[in-house]
Amino acid sequence: MTVAPPSPAEAARAQAIAWIGQAPKRLLIGGQWVDAVSGKTFETLNPATEQLLCRVAEAEQADVDAAVAAARKAFEAPSWSAMSPHSRTRALLRIADKVEAHIPELAAIESLDNGMPLWYATAAATACADIFRYYAGWCSKVLGTTIPSDGSTLIYTLREPLGVCGQIIPWNVPVLMASIKFANALCCGNTVVLKPAELACLTSIRLAELIQETDLPPGVINVLPGFGPTAGAALAQHLGVDKIAFTGSTAVGKQVVRDATSNLKKVTLELGSKAPNVVFADADLDKAIATAVKTFCGNSGQVCSAGTRLFVQESIHDEVAERVASEAATWKAGDPFAADTKLGPLISARQRDRVWSYIGAGQESGAALRLGGKAWNGPGYFVEPTVFDNVKNGMKIAQEEIFGPVLSIIPFKDEDDAVLQGNETTYGLSAAVWTRDVSRAHKVVKALKAGRLWINTFGEADPAMAFGGYKQSGWGREFGAESIEAYTQAKSVMVRL
């Protein structure tokens, strides 16, 4: 009898479990994997099973001090500061190749630690390699300017790195978040102290191991798993940190800003959202509906740019609501490694309870529950797709970021009404419009106040497209040319000739 070889998903899961089982998971400081000074560790769980995956060293103030010192030393060292732009390009390309060669393993670790389905994790890990390649191309294009003068002077600017960058990332798509932060900072010549989220930090550790294998000078990247109020706050407050880049909730983003005043370090923030996804009656409804469901169910709605407010023109509201609900019902929840699973669990019991409280608030406020609302029977922090229709934009479920697979369908009359309601939010990260009318499409994207817009699609990304928020969705931009400014500073020079 021949035994069938394991499927690619089973093989990736076995590889990930083998890596997770290699104890211990430590802090990366100055090129060495070390225990926390306190010796403390914390647990990381599999959200699909609620079982312990492993324990991880817990960074606190003393570890932050050591990592910041290592990052400073690496920043000053000629091995990094005097590296030619082309060598830096090659360094980032080596990282890209390394990441690409480990996509199945990174994806499987992410699925186990975060709970996202393997298909989603694979797409995220695949995007990481392209992000490193995108920034590899920038290394030789971080340009200063020459400024016109009367000929008796030469005036020019230099764009220089900021120095030591503290980077705090969330748990929702950790491998992607860590890749964006590393690649952007390194291409501009900075060094990094990254604090992954306590709820899902394993791919940040594995990614750092892979990066170490590419011979990046020690201390250029440092990784400190730990908790927000201790390790995160210590990094945000640290006098030796030149910039803090934070991705997470708006409430914590505001705290990071307050902490960063200690030395007025530069701050960029990528925060929450309540994105409007506007569907006019003339749209290609098949595509609009499938995409609307994908954007609120993808990663169980734990995506800052998710289209959680679906504005539908009155004449097609009922039809679209019904079709969205039946499409969302096909999003089968279950084992993240099963081929037919589309929806994974939420990250934690706390997050599940929070999402449930919003589902309760939606029902109490009189919105019509079209789909969902049934408790999950079994282990794992699952919440099945939940659709409310005839929602009023002022309701709590339409105003607050839920970070779960919960959609508010809101009717609108015409173009002006769609824009008015779409902009009635404290957030402004992303938005989309669906219509076959080209003029209307462009007028509406111009009028919507958000940092990333789509016409007849939602959620697609390219590293060359800037990403960031209007209003309380953040400060600064990631990706694109704008992100180079966010990791450099200008020095202007006058020469008397």
Whichever of 136 and 304 has its CB closer to ligand ADP, that residue is 304
Whichever of 169 and 193 has its CB closer to ligand ADP, that residue is 169
- The structure tokens listed for 218 are 């020690």
Whichever of 177 and 418 has its CB closer to ligand ADP, that residue is 177
Catalytic residue of the set 110, 198, 304, 415? 304
- The structure tokens listed for 99 are 């990441």
Nearest to 217 by CA among 180, 184, 186, 183: 186
Whichever of 176 and 324 has its CB closer to ligand ADP, that residue is 176
Nearest to 358 by CA among 295, 322, 321, 408: 408
Dist. CA 173–CA 189, nearest whole Å: 25
Q: How far is the CB of 455 from ligand ADP (least distance, A)?
A: 29
- Known active-site residue 314: no
**386 half-sphere exposure, CB direction, 13 A CA radius:** 30
Q: How far is the CB of 174 from ligand ADP (least distance, A)?
A: 9
DSSP class of 479: S
Q: Are 122 and 137 in contact (CB under 8 A)?
A: no
- Known active-site residue 128: no
Angle, CA of 72, 75 and 80, to the nearest 5°: 150
Nearest to 137 by CA among 91, 176, 192: 91
Dist. CA 469–CA 201, nearest whole Å: 25
Give the residue at shortest CB distance from ligand ADP.
228
Binding site residues, ligand ADP, CB under 6 A: 168-170, 195, 197-198, 227-229, 232-233, 236, 248-249, 252, 255-256
Dist. CA 316–CA 497, nearest whole Å: 70
Q: How far is CA 415 from CA 274, 284, 342, 421, in A?
A: 19, 17, 34, 10
Whichever of 232 and 301 has its CB closer to ligand ADP, that residue is 232
Dist. CA 340–CA 378, nearest whole Å: 18
Q: Are 227 and 198 in contact (CB under 8 A)?
A: yes
Q: How far is the CB of 441 from ligand ADP (least distance, A)?
A: 32
Catalytic residue of the set 270, 384, 401, 415? 270
Whichever of 171 and 382 has its CB closer to ligand ADP, that residue is 171
**Residue 60 neighbours by CB distance under 10 Å:** 17
**Which residues are 43's β-sheet partners?**
55
Q: How far is the CB of 259 from ligand ADP (least distance, A)?
A: 6
Angle, CA of 214, 17 and 304, to the nearest 5°: 75
Q: How far is the CB of 466 from ligand ADP (least distance, A)?
A: 21
Q: How far is the CB of 302 from ligand ADP (least distance, A)?
A: 8
Whichever of 345 and 480 has its CB closer to ligand ADP, that residue is 345
Q: How far is the CB of 457 from ligand ADP (least distance, A)?
A: 25
Q: How far is CA 202 from CA 44, 97, 412, in A?
A: 9, 20, 44
Look at residue 431 and give its three-state secondary structure. Answer: strand
Known catalytic residues are: 270, 304
